[in-house]
Amino acid sequence: MVVGAQHTVPHVEPSWPGFVDMPPVFATAMMIGFVEQTCITALRPYLSDKQRTVGTHVDVSHVAATPEGMTVTADITLTDIDGRTLQFDVTCHDESGLICSGTHRRAIVDIDAFINRVVGKKGQPRTSA
């Protein structure tokens, strides 16, 4: 992907004032989203029409800044399958080198059952931890 202004830290969320005056570099939040998108796209051909994957864990280090206009590539390797849980090793590079490395887990879900559970959460009393 080519990093656009919309992918930079000041544009992550305009209502979060802490981000507005930060350097205009590829945001960690956007990088994680790009890793997730890469996994989603790679898995889609292997899922039924009723299945999707949802992210359950991200453990990455963002080790170098990428300015707007540079190209970022995500490389993912499926390293483990445990039932419906999928584990990936992930790295991202820009034209200058490594910018991210770590792991990402996703769970295979039935989309209808998942949506029903989420909708069912509305109106439920909040529980304390």
Q: Which residues are catalytic?
A: 28, 36, 62
Phi, psi at 7, each rounded to 5° = -95, 0
Cα–chain-centroid distance for residue 72? 14
3-state secondary structure of 91: strand
Among residues 62, 67, 64, 83, which one has the least CA distance to residue 10? Answer: 67
